[in-house]
A and B are shown apart, each in its own frame.
Chain A
């Protein structure tokens, strides 16, 4: 069954690659425009990042990134359809054209950026890999994990980082690799493995999925850099620009103090930077192929970066993650967007 799905995906890649011979750049932008919605690849369910509630509504920071793109494209953040993908399926889904943008806690790396025919449009969340263990084991540092069985999700940077970490610390481990995060969590709970490893933010997300979250602790060590962000196909620059600037608009909005609550009132503000962001003077929407109020629509409907963060993974959410590295550069963090001018 799995093989068949794979083959279908590959066939799709092959077929599309053939069709692409004649197509022009800007293909995705036009096709999204004409079909009237954004097809967005998300995870199969990771609280805070992308998870469907009981009504089938998708929520999370990765979901909001796609909603922002839809708000910019159509002036309507609800014009998004979601495709849940596990780690192994995600790149093929994007390459084959099954989705328009991949927004699924995906780490920006050299090889992914250069050899998959894909481009990373920005960083929505600066993350790093961590370990979660059962409290019973009374372990408080990753340095004591030699010999442990570790549950990992297949097809991730996680698989590679953990190998590096144990090798450079001269420790051994047993990797048990599953396709989906549900299986990984189930196996961890059943005790098949001593450790669950993943990006730290996702550990917090997976932890609240456990039946007894208090029995597990996250170790302090962060063993890698995981800049997570949206991905699009390479050579599709018009579309790339929209996705990249949708995110930049949110970060710029936070910096300028624009929120979904005050954005309407701010229309009368005299600050030229705010007026430019809202499309009231200076730069024009047509430069990116959109209406002048594209950024206004994002801020109004999705909010600025800080709002999006707090609502989904930050203090306003079940995860309660501090801004940390994800604070604005002006607040000592790494989030920095080129100016809109």
Chain B
């Protein structure tokens, strides 16, 4: 008797397999295990067969000496460093050109995008022409143009275009004075840091006060004063601990100073001009997506034109702009791999190019390179998603 009810209960309870949630989970597990197993088999088999064919495998090569030189490096590097180091050098060069590209493309894009909506016929048409030209010419062609037709066709180093003996522009690149920080500059640096933090708090305080009491505060002027004044005082008091390393012509080319190589210049320019055209369209469509009633309502409340833009139109437009903007940033980062075409030493040229070729470890090198681009893309998306969430409509 004691067992019977139990039996009855189990009989009544439906089988777990009929539970859709359990079934979904089960199928997902089966699918994941199958995929993982397939990848494992693929990797194993490839490695096995490569070994059979006498092709070296494994990641030990990363510790071997590279033996070749790299044109531009943000960290210390020479030919006695390892292949692992060439990865770092290439990666940093990729990040540099992507970062610069994103920065300038954003400026170009927002400027042209707003100009495209201008009521001034000329400005409007110029912006449109810009967009149509640069959006429709293949990027590689534009890179070639800026490099082979412009950057390296500048005069040679001896005939360099110069700006009062300080900056020199030639087919070897742009050479400008490089700041040399001497002892004691740390105090100025601290002053800058302090000023920035102070200004942030000041701005918050001013906003809160305005929201509570309605009293305005000249945040901009006061902030600028602090930002420049404080470091300037520190700088003078510590005895101007800064000198300049000025480029000088000697031997084959310039030495000293800060050099912007033509490859970096051409690639950054091409990427920003090209992506800028796409961003401009994104910006235009974003602004146009804000219903006209919003502007009218703001005007009716008596808001000034600039305030209407800043407080009403742009925040709403941003919500439309950010998702496509993210994909433009992703495109730019990935397109920077066209660098190899003009000899800019990015990750693809240095690591997936020379290092791959000198070691012959194609599978390893390409896996690492793909992982980097994937990570880079994910980081950009995560950041933009976070920014998007911040800008999103907060419902109260």
Q: Say whether A and B bind each other.
A: yes
Interface residues in chain A, defined as those with a beta carbon under 8 Å from any beta carbon in chain B: 1-3, 6-7, 9-10, 13-14, 17-18, 20-21, 87-88, 91-92, 95, 111-112, 114-118, 137, 146-149, 154-155, 159-160, 162-164, 167, 173-179, 183, 186-187, 190-192, 194, 233-235
In whole angstroms, what is the CA distance A116 to B56 when docked? 7
Which residues of chain A have C-beta atoms less than 8 A from B265's C-beta? none
> Would you call A233 and B53 a contact (CB within 8 A)?
yes
Q: B45, B52, B340 — which one has the most chain A CB atoms within 10 A of its CB?
A: B340
Of A20, A147, A154, the contact of B255 (CB 8 Å cutoff): A147
What 1/0 flags go to B39-83 for Cβ under 8 Å of A? 000100110111011111000000000011111000000011000
Task: Select B79's contact among A155, A167, A194, beta carbons within 8 Å.
Answer: A167
Q: Which residue of B lies closest to A158 (CB)?
A: B68
Given contacts A117-B50, A155-B358, A179-B340, 10 further A-B contacts (CB under 8 A): A3-B369, A10-B366, A147-B252, A149-B172, A154-B340, A155-B356, A175-B71, A187-B152, A192-B171, A235-B54
Q: Contact at A177–B345, with CB atoms within 8 Å?
A: yes
- 5 example contacts (A-B, Cβ-Cβ < 8 A) are as follows A116-B55, A149-B253, A155-B354, A155-B356, A194-B252
* B253, A6: Cβ atoms closer than 8 Å: no
In the complex the two chains form, is A116's CB within 8 Å of B349's CB?
A: no
Q: CB distance A154 to B353 under 8 Å? A: yes
Chain A minimum-CB-distance residue to B156: A191
Collect the chain A residues with CB atoms within 8 Å of residue B356's CB. 6, 88, 155
Chain A residues, Cβ within 8 Å of B50: 13, 17, 117
Docked CA distance A173–B152 (Å)? 18
Q: What is the minimal beta-carbon distance from B170 to any residue of chain A, in angstroms?
A: 9
B363 at the interface (CB under 8 A from A): yes
Name the contact of B53 in the complex, choosing from A1, A10, A20, A160 (C-beta under 8 A). A20
Residue from A14, A88, A174 within 8 A of B42 (CB atoms):
A14
A143 to B63, CA, bound (A): 32
Residues of A within 8 A of B54 (CB): 114-118, 234-235
Select one of A1, A114, A179 contacting B353, CB under 8 A: A179
User: Any chain A CB within 8 A of the CB of B153?
Assistant: yes
Whether the Cβ atoms of B353 and A20 lie closer than 8 Å is no
Interface secondary structure of B, over-half rule: helix
Known: A175-B68, A190-B152. A18 touches B45 (CB 8 A): yes
**Contact (Cβ within 8 A) B45 A160:** no
Q: Contact check, B263 vs A176: say whether CB atoms are below 8 A apart.
A: yes
B28 at the interface (CB under 8 A from A): no
Q: For chains A and B in complex, what number of residue pairs have CB atoms within 8 angstroms?
A: 165
Q: Which residues of the partner chain B approach A14 to less than 8 Å between Cβ atoms?
A: 42, 46, 363
Q: Are A176 and B251 in contact (CB under 8 A)?
A: no
How far is it, in angstroms, between the C-alpha of A235 and the C-alpha of B54 when the chains are bound?
8
**Once the chains are docked, how many angstroms separate the CA of A147 from the CA of B362?**
33
Residues of B within 8 A of A95 (CB): 53, 55, 362
CA distance A115 to B55 in the complex (A): 5
Residues of chain B lying within 8 A (CB to CB) of residue A146: 251
Q: How far is A14 from B262 in the complex, measured between Cα atoms in Å?
A: 37
Q: Take A10-B363, A173-B69 as given contacts and tell me if A183 and B352 are in contact as well, using a CB distance cutoff of 8 Å.
A: no
Which A residue sits closest to B369, measured CB to CB? A3
List of B residues within 8 angstroms of A137 by Cβ:
252
Is B360 a contact partner of A147 (Cβ separation < 8 A)? no
Q: A2-B340, A2-B341, A190-B153 are in contact. Are A17 and B362 (CB under 8 A)?
A: no
Given A10-B363, A87-B357: A1 and B68 interface contact (C-beta under 8 Å): no
Q: Are A2 and B343 in contact (CB under 8 A)?
A: no
- A7, B366: Cβ atoms under 8 Å? yes
State the CA gap A10–B362 with chains docked (Å): 7
State in angstroms the CA–CA spacing of A149 and B259 once bound together.
14
Contacts of B106 in A (CB 8 A): none
Mark B residues whose CB is within 8 Å of A.
42, 45-46, 48-50, 52-56, 67-71, 79-80, 140, 148, 152-153, 156, 171-172, 250-253, 255, 262-263, 334, 337-338, 340-343, 345, 348-349, 352-354, 356-360, 362-363, 366, 369-370, 373
- Inter-chain contacts of B353 with A (CB < 8 A): 88, 154-155, 177, 179
* Bound-state Cα–Cα, A137 to B370, Å: 43
Cα A190 to Cα B148 with chains together (Å): 8
Least CB distance from A89 to B in Å reads 9
Q: Is the CB of B357 within 8 A of A155?
A: yes
| A27 → chain B closest CB, angstroms | 11
CB distance from B276 to the nearest CB of A (A): 20
Measured between alpha carbons, how far is A100 from B345 in the docked complex, in Å? 32
| CB closest residue in chain A, given B138 | A1
Contact A164 B341 (CB under 8 A): no
Contact B79 A163 (CB under 8 A): yes
Among B53, B68, B80, B338, point to the contact of A235 (Cβ < 8 A). Answer: B53
- If the complex has contacts A10-B362, A154-B340, A155-B357, are A18 and B148 also in contact, measured as CB distance less than 8 A? no
Q: How far is the CA of A137 from the CA of B354 in the complex (A)?
A: 30
Q: Given the complex of chains A and B, what is the CA–CA distance between A175 and B349 in angstroms?
A: 13
Contact of A88 among B148, B172, B357 (CB under 8 A): B357
Q: Which residues of B contact A115 (CB under 8 A)?
A: 54-56, 359-360
Query: What is the CA–CA distance of A45 and B18 in the complex, to the nearest angstrom?
Result: 67
Taking CB atoms, residues of chain B closer than 8 Å to A173 are: 69
Which chain A residue has the least Cβ–Cβ distance from B47?
A17
Q: Chain A residues near B52: list those with CB within 8 A.
A: 17, 20-21, 235
The interface residues of chain A lying within 8 Å CB-to-CB of B71 are 174-177
Q: Which residues of chain A come closer than 8 Å to B67, judged between CB atoms?
A: 160, 163-164
- Residues from chain B with Cβ under 8 Å of A164 in the complex: 67, 79
Bound: A164/B79 CA distance, A: 8
Assembled-state Cα–Cα distance A175/B354 (Å): 12
Closest beta carbon of chain A to B82's beta carbon, Å: 14
List of B residues within 8 angstroms of A159 by Cβ: 68-69, 354, 358
Q: A7-B366, A179-B340, A192-B172 are in contact. Are A147 and B357 (CB under 8 A)?
A: no
Instruction: Report the bound CA distance from A242 to B262 in whole Å.
Output: 48
B363, closest chain A residue (CB): A10
Interface centre among B80, B252, B342, B354 (most CB of A within 10 A): B252
- Give every chain B residue within 8 A of A234 (Cβ-Cβ): 53-54
Q: A190-B152, A234-B54 are in contact. Are A17 and B46 (CB under 8 A)?
A: yes
Contacts of A17 in B (CB 8 A): 45-46, 49-50, 52-53, 55
The answer to whether A18 and B341 touch across the interface, beta carbons within 8 angstroms, is no
Q: How far is the CA of A272 from the CA of B263 in the complex (A)?
A: 63
Chain A residues whose CB sits within 8 angstroms of the CB of B53 once the complex forms: 17, 20, 95, 117, 233-235
Q: Which residues of A contact B255 (CB under 8 A)?
A: 147
B341 adjacent to A91 (CB under 8 Å): no
- Asked if A13 and B252 make an inter-chain contact with CB atoms under 8 angstroms apart, the answer reads no
